[in-house]
Structure 1
């Protein structure tokens, strides 16, 4: 790949790139957006073990306009370095509970609530379940409160970010309202033996392909499938699942540290 494909501070009209784990950089509507920042080196957090650091360091990204945090309770979606980045960002959008922990510039949204960035970008929270559907708590979530995001601007493609979601019903809810131009989905089939009988907490490769089929988005980037010991499925498994489903043409290859999409 050309050096221009490396994720850096230079912005594009539309760009999506995976840095590692769930961490994704998005250029949209003139904004530099960072999703679920994780920039710690390999670390043993106890139940979760990070096996690889980020493919691009945070200081190479330039100034951030917006940080999206699907949830803040788990190090594989917001580690110590990532939390510092979020707390310093000019605007953060996350869950209501995480907003109480991420500083005065954090806005917490419930599913289908929206907030507008001064640029005109609308950020809408979308439903997500971080684990099996039969484990929903009285509060309405599994494992912890988590959200996805829908990014909309009249002069830019619509982008759906699924977050740590294991629910096809949540994706179907999104698909019933909008057909995103670009979908960023978390795969990996994350699992922790002590939790929910070791069942997946995020989409497996087969279910992330099924989610892509339901969404009907023409371009799909899959993150959250590398760099952590508790991920069961990697990029090769995802590719095979999209091929088996007959939708391989929708999957955008996303080598770490490189732009998967750049228009």
Structure 2
């Protein structure tokens, strides 16, 4: 298995003999407005893609954890429609998202309620909480996905979630060899974080001592308040620096 972090939560995954694109966010640097009332007022995304979007236009399959604009945007849809798969690119998504994805022009969209086997890869949807209280409700449904395939590590992509019972249940059910967490500590002007903080990443590590953790969704959106350095320093302080890998944009990790 190889995981390449593109930017934010966008991943290029080589798994089960297939090339998977996860949560494509292809907007040009600074082309979207800043999220207001947070300390960093820069326009989004904060950084450019590390490689041309066209080089990501022809995956074997697309996986969308949810449809917030930093995980699925119009530039990504246009790029993929122009790629090898075109409108027939296979897309996996959470329940309730098919109609909106199809509105971009895609015809092969499958909602995963529980588990799907695709060309020898078993994909199981997991739940999460994109924040707590009123903000968590406004953020809506989000999903993670667990992957299993012969001769591959078990992979859990947690998605946009904080540390919560849903994550505990997923870790216990799947016992992943590798867990990808969105760890930028995103937070609006009011309310608690809506994705994992360094403390949440520590909780993942402590709960499942056997999983390697890959931390992404960092330094790309202006309300993400955890930097790579901050996260790395906390992991070192907790003695977890060998458990948590924090890739740079464009970096590939092999497992």
Contact 2:22 2:63 in 1 (8 A): yes
State the Cα distance separating 1:23 from its structure 2 match: 0.7
Check the 8 A contact 1:183/1:217 in 2, yes or no: no
1:238 equivalent in structure 2: 231
Matched, 1:31 2:44: no
TM superposition shift of 1:169: 1.4
Question: How far has the Cα of 1:46 moved from its partner?
Answer: 5.5
Confirm or deny that 1:77 pairs with 2:65.
no
User: CA, structure 1 residues 59+237, in 2 after alignment: closer, same or farther (shift >3 Å)?
Assistant: same
**Residues 171 and 217 of structure 1, relative CA distance in 2, 3 Å threshold:** farther
Residues 135/215 of structure 1: CA separation in 2 closer, same or farther (3 Å cut)? farther
Gaps of 5+ in 2: 37-43
Aligned-residue CA RMSD in angstroms? Answer: 2.1
Distance 1:142 1:181, change over 3 A: farther
| Range with greater deviation from structure 2 (24-33 or 48-57) | 48-57
Question: For the Cα contact (< 8 Å) 1:38–1:54, is it kept in 2?
Answer: no
Residue in 2 aligned with 1:7? none
Q: Does 1:222 align with 2:228?
A: no
Q: Is structure 2 residue 144 aligned with structure 1 residue 148?
A: yes
Residue 40 of structure 2 is matched in structure 1 by none
Q: Is the 8 A contact 2:175 2:211 kept in 1?
A: no
- Distance in 2 (alpha carbons) for counterparts of 1:69 and 1:86: 13
Paired with 2:153 and 2:120, the residues of 1 have a C-alpha distance of 13
Q: For each residue in 1:27-82, what CA deviation from the matched residue of structure 2 results, as whole angstroms up to 9, or x when unmatched?
A: 0111111111011102224537321121122322463112111111x221112222
Aligned to 2:27: 40
CA distance in 2, matches of 1:26, 1:123: 13
Q: Distance in 1 between matches of 2:126 and 2:188?
A: 25
Counterparts of 1:8-23 in structure 2, within 5 Å, are: 14-23=1-10
2:79 and 2:128 map into 1 onto residues whose CA distance is 24
Specify which of 156, 170, 173 is matched with residue 174 of structure 1. 170
Q: Secondary structure of the residue that 2:245 maps to in structure 1?
A: coil
CA drift at 1:250: 0.9
State whether residues 38 and 81 of structure 1, in contact with CA within 8 Å, keep that contact through their aligned partners in structure 2: yes
Which whole-Å deviations, capped at 9, do the CAs of 1:127-171 have from their partners, x for residues lacking one?
111111x3488xxx5511110000111221111001101133121
TM-score (norm 2): 0.85
